[in-house]
Structure 1
Amino acid sequence: MSDETEQPLNLDIPEHLEYSDEHVWVDRSDDLAIIGITEYAADQLGELVFVDLPEPGTRVEAGDEIVELESSKAVQPLISPVAGTVKYVNRDVADDPSVVNGDPYGEGWILKVELDDDEPELLTAEEYAKIIR
């Protein structure tokens, strides 16, 4: 996912979320961590046409390729920024992947994971913004 322009990007980077440098966001404000791709990743990929989700109960480690995202431009894995067990997958995203492009931080969430006890190494919104700008 390359930055083709030197102009500042006008992308939403919600302050309450945490981020990985693989353009994945994590919301740990509830019992389960909600995971999705950032607006930057969705823009770089283009319109998603297929999302291959894992089954609930799947064990993931930080760094694992856990979801395959396919667009008209590319096939890109979603790299898990956390370790834990997948509890829910967003079936709406599997049925209509464009939901991710339209609302990556809301209805376009991809997984809900019960986290292991270890603290994931994630970026703040400010730190993530420096990576993509």
Structure 2
Amino acid sequence: MDPHISIVTLGVDDLATATSFYEDGLGLPRHDGDDDGDIVFFDLRGTWLALYLREELAADAGVEAAGEGFSGVTLAHNVDSEARVDEVLAAAERAGATVQKRAAATDWGGYSGYFADPDGHLWEVAYAPGFSPGP
């Protein structure tokens, strides 16, 4: 297996709201493609983020769509400074996210906080000195 993630797909309740949050609120670059209205893609330097209706995504995977609370998955966005962590969390909150954990120093020597998007997907925003994953 060639270890990389091509696409992360988030199941959402309202595609227009989720698209607006990521595109207008967070400024993610939307993929120039032939969106058919059922799915939206964003280019994220080496991978894509996709938004797809939760019910449809569950049906595609052959699982039940019902589920509440922590899913056991978080997404992480690493930045180059503590100040940038605070800026990204503030931008996410202005865009409609709920800040779940305000940024603070971590026990691993970094600085991070968490927000939940309008569908409850958790994102960690972190400054991790000496750690730079991805392209």
Give TM-score, length-normalised by structure 1. Answer: 0.25
Largest Rg, 1 or 2: 2
Higher relative CO (CA 8 A, sep ≥ 6), structure 1 or 2?
1
Give TM-score, length-normalised by structure 2. Answer: 0.25
More helix by share: 2
